[in-house]
Structure 1
Amino acid sequence: MSVMEKIEVDQSNEVGLGELNERERTVIQFFRLLDEVAQQDIIRFIYILLQSEFD
């Protein structure tokens, strides 16, 4: 990934944060501190919860 692509990704991540409340921003910040495996585990867990909601 080039430096410019990294900057664009970082900027796109920041755009939506202004719309969140303090608690939501804190959750996102803690999520970003997790390693990739932990992030994927959480994403799978949320996906399963959402699947059961719509079944």
Structure 2
Amino acid sequence: MRTENEYHAYYRRKIKEGKHHMVIINAIRNKLISRMFAVIKRDTPYVKLQLQ
């Protein structure tokens, strides 16, 4: 969580909600793994969406 990205923002938001560090890290791991398998299943490159 050293760089400013969507996972960093998610981490900070959950910390403010009072969640434990490892609970948040596991949720981020799950997000990464889910995205990885979706990319493999669809056989397409990952495209980061620009959220506003």
Q: TM-score range by the shorter chain?
A: 0.3 to 0.5
Find the structure with the greater CA-based Rg.
Answer: 1
TM-score by length of 1: 0.42
Higher relative contact order (CA 8 A, sep 6+): 2
TM-score by length of 2: 0.44
